[in-house]
Amino acid sequence: MIYLDNAACTRLDERVFEAMKPYFFDTYAVATSEFGYSMGIDAKEGLENSREGIASGLGAAPEEIVFTSGDTESSNMALKGVAWALREKKGKHIIISKIEDFPVLNTAKTLQKQGFDVTFLDVDAEGFADLEELKKAITKETILVSIQHSNQEIGTAQDLKAISEICEEKDVLLHTDATHSFTRLPLNVKDLPVDLVTMSAHTIHGPRGIGALCIRKDTPIVKFMDGGFQEFNLRAGVENIPGAVGFATAVKLVTEEENRQLAAMRDRVIERALSEIPEVTLNGSREKRLPQNANLTFHYVEGESVTLHMDMRGFAVSTGSACFSRSLEASHVIRGIGGDHERAHGSVRFTFGRYNRMEDADAAIDAMSEIVARLREISPLAKK
Amino acid sequence: MKIEKKSEGIKFPYSEKVLEHFRNPHNVGKIENADGKGLEGSPACGDMVAVYIKVEPETKVIEDVKFESYGCASNIATGSVITDLAKGKTLDEAKKITWKQASEELGGLPPIKAHCSVLAVEGLRAAIRDYEEKHGLVTEKEPTTEDVVRRRLKHVMNPLTGLDIIRTNLILKISVEAGVVRVVVDLPEDHQFAPAIKEDIIEKLGALWDVEKVDVVFTA
């Protein structure tokens, strides 16, 4: 199987697994036992070193990193935590972009049901948030803006600098979902006034079930999950120390060279698809996009049929087609950038990872070319 | 060490038979000068099926049937099996083919995919209805009025939205006079979808028993 769905999940790097192993078999105590016995101290050391590792990858201080179970929990914590902390003190207005991933989108919808006002900000045809609209949307009641660093489907990377400057000027907190961009695109909270950053290990060859939320110092936030006093009393629950160690190791293993290789595969897929297959549209920005993401619409064919044919030929790819999702709804991202249903249904996402090679990109386009031609032969929409 | 399997395992949502029909669908394509044609679905729901039939005029047996699909595996497989079932049957027999029958023939379809696959059955029925109308086999002859036209046009899709052209207010005016139906569409004539919409409107209205001419007029 040639796996080209690395945005969904990546294969664990064996070096990450090796780093985690001692924390399953030798140093398996919980970190809160530090005053009781030495294994607890060793466990805590593993946890804190990992925290430092994640923090340094982001230019944050270690005490600004809270480990979570992944990006879904991080974004829930950011939005609910800030909303609940500020609803009595400042206001009940939140702004998110229309094309956020479900952890932000659905958390915002839940908050809406709880009485918060939510503005779903428009994006342009490439997926960039409308900054003029953002400026206009911020009011005295606004407590939080949440705009992703990069998009999960179409790969567009936002101008976070401009967004953060607007939020700073208007004195509004900014959360960004960096699940797909962390370590893949530059992001340093020393340079950018971003208050909360969502991250996850599963997208960078780390383990599943571990992520982090960077919460800049003095950010008003309350815990949304009750239990013990772990993670600065912000995230209750036994610490996932092997996970944290794995996450920090995964961060260390990403190199600029690797990102360049991913970008080369991405470019190959985009260029070959656009030049060799008729009636193909690139989704997202050509220039400002994740190095690992290529998303294209192959018109007149339906995405689930494409992915199934690709699977039969040994490729794993993803689509924004309604038939692919259990909700039977076409991609809100493609619809959000102004694409019609047909464009959403025919969209195919190729996302590359450490274990892909250029041959994979070529083989995928060769297969796509045949599959698309075959499906267009039987499509009533295709011009023949 | 592998985790011991207690159940029969998680199954792929599609049966082997669905996959086989998906891989190698039968009766695919278009019949030029078909005796009956049906088009159901829209890109909005993700699936669209066109069914074409050739009918032996004396016996009313479906001699040939083909389909085109813009759809998922479930949709393609149902189109394939429905056309297999219809071939060689009389129109009356073919009308009775149900989605349940198609689903059984395919070894079951995922319930969530019912709407994707039911279109093939509707497509076949629409093709039969089209034949019957064109050949004066519809016994009750309802005069064509503005309402009848409106009802018919609910089956013409607006590719811009994936919903029908009535619901999406694409039709500005309808008039019926002395066998001539005039439909004004709120699109420029050179719009990319204008020819497809025009063809579909003529297809849906031209077969009505008392309609002699269909004029499709674009706004610019």
pLDDT, one tens digit per residue, over B122-132 is 899 999 989 99
Answer yes or no: do B48 and A380 touch at CB < 8 A. Answer: yes
Residues B29 and B120 in one domain: yes
Give the residue from chain A lying closest to B68, CA to CA.
A378
Kindly state whether residue B185 falls inside one of the protein's structural domains: yes
> Where are any strands of DSSP class E within B77-170?
157-158, 163-164
CB A254 within 8 A of CB A15: no
Relative to beta strand A93-97, strand A117-121 is: parallel
Give the residue from chain B lying closest to A375, CA to CA.
B70
Answer yes or no: do B70 and A341 touch at CB < 8 A. Answer: no
Residues B124 and B156 in one domain: no
Helical residues (DSSP H) of A239-337, grouped into ranges = 241-253, 256-276, 303-312, 332-336
| Residue A315 in contact with partner chain B when CB distance is under 8 A | no
Kindly state whether residue B115 falls inside one of the protein's structural domains: yes
DSSP, collapsed to helix, strand or coil, labels residue B214 as strand
CB B48 within 8 A of CB B71: yes
Kindly state whether residue B159 falls inside one of the protein's structural domains: yes
- What are the Cα distances from residue B187, in Å, to A122, A340, A382, B151? 26, 17, 21, 20
- Supply the pTM of this predicted model: 0.86
Spell out the per-residue pLDDT of chain A, length 384, in tens: 999 999 999 999 999 999 999 999 999 998 877 677 899 999 999 999 999 999 999 999 999 999 999 999 999 999 999 999 999 999 999 999 999 999 999 999 999 999 999 999 999 999 999 999 999 999 999 999 999 999 999 999 999 999 999 999 999 999 999 999 999 999 999 999 999 999 999 999 999 999 999 999 999 999 999 999 999 999 999 999 999 999 999 999 999 999 999 999 999 999 999 999 999 999 999 999 999 999 999 999 999 999 999 999 999 999 988 766 655 577 899 989 998 888 988 999 999 999 999 999 999 999 999 999 999 999 998 876
For residue A296, what are the β-bridge partners?
A282, A348
Please tell me the predicted confidence (pLDDT) of residue B215: 94
User: Which chain A residues are Cβ-neighbours of B44 within 8 angstroms?
Assistant: 330, 341
The closest of B75, B2, B84, B11 to B43, measured between CA atoms, is: B75
Kindly state whether residue B171 falls inside one of the protein's structural domains: yes
Listing DSSP states for B117-129 in one string gives HHHHHHHHHHHHH
Answer yes or no: do A302 and B72 touch at CB < 8 A. Answer: yes
Residues B28 and B122 in one domain: yes
Measure in Å the smallest separation between the Cα of A232 and chain B Cα atoms: 37
A225, A227, A231, A233 alpha-carbon torsion, rounded to 10°: 90
Kindly state whether residue B26 falls inside one of the protein's structural domains: yes
DSSP A282: E
Cα(B70)–Cα(A349) distance, integer angstroms? 19
Kindly state whether residue B95 falls inside one of the protein's structural domains: yes
Cα(B169)–Cα(B202) distance, integer angstroms? 18
Say what angle helices A358-377 and A256-276 make with each other, to 10 degrees. Answer: 30
Domains in chain A with CATH codes: 14-253 (3.40.640.10), 255-378 (3.90.1150.10)
Residue B32's CATH number: 3.90.1010.10
| Residue A383 in contact with partner chain B when CB distance is under 8 A | no
B136 or B58, which is more confident: B58
From the list B69, B76, B162, the residue facing A340 with the nearest CB is B162
Say what angle helices A38-58 and A241-253 make with each other, to 10 degrees. Answer: 40
pLDDT per residue as tens digits for the range B140-197: 777 899 988 988 888 777 766 656 788 888 999 999 998 999 999 999 888 877 877 8
Residues B121 and B155 in one domain: no
Q: How many residues does chain A have?
A: 384
Domain final residue pick, B82, B100, B133: B133
Answer yes or no: do A378 and B29 touch at CB < 8 A. Answer: yes
* Placement of tokens 């070319």 in the chain: A369
Residue B154's CATH number: 3.30.300.130
The closest of A210, A301, A294 to A6, measured between CA atoms, is: A294
Please tell me the predicted confidence (pLDDT) of residue B119: 85
| Residue A312 in contact with partner chain B when CB distance is under 8 A | yes
Give the residue from chain B lying closest to A347, CA to CA.
B46
Q: How many CA atoms lie within 13 A of A169 on its CB side?
A: 10
| Residue B43 in contact with partner chain A when CB distance is under 8 A | yes
Residues B62 and B110 in one domain: yes
CB A149 within 8 A of CB A75: no
| Residue A374 in contact with partner chain B when CB distance is under 8 A | no
Please tell me the predicted confidence (pLDDT) of residue A84: 96
Non-local CB neighbours of A71 within 8 Å, separated by 6+ positions: A101, A103, A177, A179, A198, A199, A200, A211
Give the residue from chain A lying closest to B43, CA to CA.
A342
Residues B29 and B80 in one domain: yes
From the list B23, B47, B70, the residue facing A300 with the nearest CB is B70
Listing DSSP states for A119-170 in one string gives EEE-B-TTS-B-HHHHHHH--TTEEEEE--SB-TTT-BBP-HHHHHHHHHHT
User: What tokens does A247 get?
Assistant: 């996450």
Kindly state whether residue B29 falls inside one of the protein's structural domains: yes
Which residue in the list B116, B118, B171, B208 is annotated as catalytic?
A: B116
pLDDT per residue as tens digits for the range B99-111: 889 999 999 888 7
- What are the Cα distances from residue B4, in Å, to B7, B9, B22? 9, 11, 33
Chain center to CA of A28: 30
Answer yes or no: do B46 and A328 touch at CB < 8 A. Answer: yes
User: Which chain B residues are Cβ-neighbours of A379 within 8 angstroms?
Assistant: 68-70
Domain final residue pick, B68, B102, B133: B133
| Residue A340 in contact with partner chain B when CB distance is under 8 A | yes
Relative to beta strand A2-3, strand A93-97 is: unpaired
Cα(B83)–Cα(B99) distance, integer angstroms? 12
- What is the number of domains present in chain B? 2
By residue range, what is the domain housing residue B184?
Answer: 144-216
Please tell me the predicted confidence (pLDDT) of residue B158: 73
Answer yes or no: do A328 and B162 touch at CB < 8 A. Answer: no
Answer yes or no: do A380 and B69 touch at CB < 8 A. Answer: yes
Residues B158 and B124 in one domain: no
CB A147 within 8 A of CB A176: yes
Answer yes or no: do B25 and A302 touch at CB < 8 A. Answer: no
Residues B120 and B70 in one domain: yes
Please tell me the predicted confidence (pLDDT) of residue B197: 84
Residues B18 and B101 in one domain: yes
Please tell me the predicted confidence (pLDDT) of residue A327: 58
Whether A214 is a known active-site residue: answer no
Answer yes or no: do B73 and A380 touch at CB < 8 A. Answer: no
Strand order in the sheet with B171-177: B171-177, B180-185, B213-218
Please tell me the predicted confidence (pLDDT) of residue A13: 98
Give the residue from chain B lying closest to A304, CA to CA.
B72
Residues B113 and B24 in one domain: yes
Residues B18 and B104 in one domain: yes
Please tell me the predicted confidence (pLDDT) of residue B41: 78
Residues B37 and B128 in one domain: yes
DSSP, collapsed to helix, strand or coil, labels residue B90 as strand
Kindly state whether residue B5 falls inside one of the protein's structural domains: no
| Residue B112 in contact with partner chain A when CB distance is under 8 A | yes
